[in-house]
Amino acid sequence: MEQLAAMRVYLRVAELASFTQAAEQLGLPKASISAAVQQLENQLGARLLHRTTRRVQMTQDGQAYYERCRDLLADMDELQAMFQAGEGDLTGRLRVDLPAASARMYVLPRLPEFLAAHPRIELELSSTDRRVDLVREGFDCVMRVGALVDSSLIARRLGRFEMVNCASRDYVARYGRPGTLADLAQHRLVHYAATLGAKVAGFEYVTPGGVALLAMAGVITVNNSEAYQAACRAGLGIIQLPRVGVADGLASGELVELLPDWRAEPMPVSLLYANRRHLPRRVQAFMAWLAQVMAPYLQSDDDQAASG
């Protein structure tokens, strides 16, 4: 196998800690993956990976080689891009992950525009509420809603979603409309937990001293945004989510806004990508396009500061 191709294979094996998963992602036989890594080790005269029946782990030399390979391959991508005729000639695979609701409502309806402008890009789009491992799973960039915890990644803030409390018209007819936080003792919340069985947060609201949580009863806990909103529309309780996600329901009267003075803190929306010196131009182009697509639905940080 050609040297650069073997290096790309090694990066995927190292990031996934698996020959089998690397073979599946790259569309190559597992034997070819093993041979590529063996080729590199023979050339270097060093062992790059510890292999056992249970796991694959980089050696100290393997970690150092991984870091240099990642930078070198990024530089090679950038070098090739310098000689492309124009932005319309962007090529290669682009792998991104978006929250399910944002992908369905905002991005996918506009995606034909991007692909028409860049017909040689091969897009792999993951849409899930699960927090993917950007490096391990081979994503070029991901969009995340909420607080960030990945200190090893570079984050580009896009803005914030304004939040709203709401319930279905049928729920309000049955249980009444709360006018104060104290009234919530007589109401129920649709609980959200990324992992079922985990502790649920409760009703969130902002005070002069910061964010506060009020424990509330509920008959259902869900683990994705689509089910969260569907449970609300079915009359199962109150939810707190970005206003743009329920604008149609509020406008039609199917959903009713509650406690407008006690809303959750706006949710930050960010693009994340790996910490490396150069991003391929196709990734830069997609992130710039995605920022434009999302801009009409987001508050800027400056707007939030002014309103606060």
Strands 163-168 and 56-58: unpaired
Residues 114-162: tens digit of each pLDDT: 999 998 888 989 988 788 888 777 788 999 988 887 667 888 999 999 9
What tokens appear for 96 in the block? Answer: 């991104």
The stretch 59-69 carries a mean pLDDT of 86
Identify whether residues 138 and 278 lie together within a single domain: yes
Is there a contact between 186 and 175 (Cβ–Cβ < 8 Å)? yes
- Which CATH number characterizes residue 253's domain? 3.40.190.10
| pLDDT value for 53 | 73
End-of-domain residue from the set 17, 48, 82: 82
> For the whole model, what pTM was predicted?
0.71
What tokens appear for 262 in the block? Answer: 């006690």
Identify whether residues 72 and 133 lie together within a single domain: no
In angstroms, the CA 206 to CA 261 distance is 9
Residues 99-118: tens digit of each pLDDT: 988 999 899 999 999 999 99
Identify whether residues 7 and 78 lie together within a single domain: yes
Identify whether residues 251 and 106 lie together within a single domain: no
User: DSSP state, 236?
Assistant: S
| pLDDT value for 213 | 94
Residues 170-226: tens digit of each pLDDT: 999 999 999 999 999 999 999 998 778 778 889 999 998 899 999 999 999 998 888
Whether the predicted pLDDT of 294 surpasses 70: yes
Residues 237-289: tens digit of each pLDDT: 999 999 998 999 999 999 999 999 999 999 999 999 987 666 788 888 999 99
End-of-domain residue from the set 82, 113, 141: 82
Nearest CA to 215 out of 228, 203, 197 is that of: 203
- Which CATH number characterizes residue 23's domain? 1.10.10.10
Identify whether residues 183 and 47 lie together within a single domain: no
Identify whether residues 10 and 153 lie together within a single domain: no
Residues 48-57: tens digit of each pLDDT: 998 887 788 8
Nearest CA to 33 out of 21, 45, 43, 44 is that of: 21
CA atoms within 13 A on the CB side of 263: 17
| pLDDT value for 15 | 85
Higher-confidence position of 282 and 236: 236
| pLDDT value for 90 | 79
Higher-confidence position of 296 and 129: 296
End-of-domain residue from the set 47, 82, 117: 82
Identify whether residues 19 and 31 lie together within a single domain: yes
N-terminal to C-terminal alpha carbon distance within the chain: 59
In angstroms, the CA 107 to CA 289 distance is 10
Identify whether residues 282 and 228 lie together within a single domain: no
DSSP SS3 for 147? coil
| pLDDT value for 296 | 92
What tokens appear for 68 in the block? Answer: 């240099």
Amino acid making up residue 181: L
| pLDDT value for 138 | 76
Domain total of the chain: 3
The stretch 17-22 carries a mean pLDDT of 89
Identify whether residues 201 and 233 lie together within a single domain: yes
Identify whether residues 31 and 46 lie together within a single domain: yes
User: Which structural domain range is residue 224 located in?
Assistant: 163-258
| pLDDT value for 307 | 44
The stretch 2-27 carries a mean pLDDT of 89
Strands 153-161 and 267-274: antiparallel
